[in-house]
A and B are shown apart, each in its own frame.
Chain A
Amino acid sequence: MRPVVVAAYVLVPLFGLFMCIGPLVTRPSVQFGVRVPSEYSTAPVIRRERRSYRWRSAVIAICAVAALIAWGGHRSWVPSRIILLVEFAADMGCFWWAHRRIAEVKAAEGWFAGRRQTVVADTSWRTEPQPFPIGWLAPAVAVIVVTVVIGVLRYPHLPAYLDRGGGHRVATSPVSAFAVVFAQAYVTAVWSGLLALVYRSRPDLDTADPAASLRGYRRALGVFGRAGLVLLACVDLSLLLYALQFWQVLHLSGDGNVLVLVPFALGLAAFFCAVIRAGAARARVAEAAATTDRDDDRFWKGGVVYVNRDDPAVLVGARVAFGWTVNLGNPTAWLLISGFVAVPAGLVALAASAI
């Protein structure tokens, strides 16, 4: 079985499980992407929608895994991707449904009418910034160094053609042989760069108790950052295993190919657990409000996509689960997205022309 097919067996249940829990462990003041005053965080409509969402997302996850098993043994990667796509669309549909129902009741009952809506910043976030866990980047860098050393030692002994899997063969050249190392370097640079941006982005503080909110955010960010760098090391390790196979150091056949994905799967599972834990840490922050957070729902499309031209922030706290999303109203965000698309596309084109 090819690793791309097996990847779906990892992603479908993990994503399903994540979507069952992730949207339920957000801050009390944001429910399914709707900003609510603290005393409404347990309103009947919110309790009802949380219960319904739990059931719906669980059924979606079970159906997706059942469909995957029904297609078991299929050698093509297409059905598994379709299942993942349908699962994603169904989960987002359920999220949007709950979002609409809560937003309707909020508007009808005027939850924010006559309230003092404030935005709060803690200057200590900038004067004493959270240090990036640079030490946790060491495993990922070590894996790349090991890959380079093995590659350099192995390169003189490689045959004229290399098997890329699935019957594709490429002529041996420094570019084709070390493509995996380039991939490791790219993934490491992009992911650690993104995490560094996240460490500099703004924390969403609850106006009711900003100091406790910032402490909770710092804890959650620490968990997220460390888990993100562990995931990075796992991805690099999976790429190292693939490289060993590609360079004919490791000979895996049939279901043995699955071994390549084991570090990635374990890293992703740990990362999802960490995101849920980080979200839960923030969800516990107590709220007893004299003032209310600003009702900024008009900038959130469907409670998921943030577009605010007047906000200079590039990255903002996501509302689906604990995490971040880009402000599509900021031109820098579009530059960032274009960079992510253009750089790998350019590298692939370069590699293709070199091969």
Chain B
Amino acid sequence: MLLSVEPDGPVPIYQQIRDRIVEAIAAGDAPAGTGLPATRQLAVDLGINFHTVNKGYDLLRQEGLLRIGRRAGAVVQRDAASGPPRPDWEEEWTTRLRTMLAEATAQGLSSEEIMRHCRDIVAGFPPVTNDDPARGDAA
């Protein structure tokens, strides 16, 4: 998995790390069970403070996307094939989505254009194949 961040960009680096990992999970580049580097190693590879990486990993852990163990390190906990999300997650996500769509509307994009962008982005992710019913959230 490639992690690309802009150290001098307007978005905080921990947020960029979190966003890139979420995108990699959605794109199928980091399916459930994929190991991620230790925080100190990733900090060295990106040339940033390891607390920043820790913060990014912690966000993903809170969202249920990452499992951080002492022995196994950071492991991707779930992906698109792991079944539906937690019940409370969707409500929180809808709040953020409302803001994103409000931005587009305020900037003058029509509802058709907004829907086209959404469709194109979702179509870019690989189709979900839930071959193993045993995986689910426990993966």
Contact = CB atoms under 8 A, between A and B. Distances in A.
B45 A125 contact: yes
B36 interface: yes
Interface string B1-21: 111111111000000000000
Contact of B45 (A126, A211, A294): A126
Secondary structure of the B contact surface, majority rule: mixed
A202 B37 contact: no
Given A123-B37, A124-B1, A127-B36, A202 B6 contact: no
B65 to A, nearest CB: 15
Contacts, number: 75
A119 interface: yes
Contacts of B45: 121-122, 125-126, 202-203
A121 B2 contact: yes
Nearest to A295: B8
Instruction: Report the interface size class on chain A.
Output: 20 to 34
A122 B2 contact: yes
Interface in A106-154: 116-127
Given A123-B42, A126-B38, A310-B48, A117 B2 contact: no
B59 interface: no
B49 A312 contact: yes
A120 B8 CA distance: 13
A328 interface: no
B27 interface: no
A116 B5 CA distance: 10
A263 interface: no
A104 interface: no
Contacts of A119: 4-7, 46-47
Given A120-B4, A291-B4, 20 more contacts: A116-B6, A117-B6, A118-B4, A118-B6, A119-B7, A121-B2, A122-B45, A123-B1, A126-B45, A201-B44, A202-B47, A294-B7, A294-B8, A296-B47, A310-B47, A310-B49, A312-B47, A312-B50, A313-B44, A313-B47
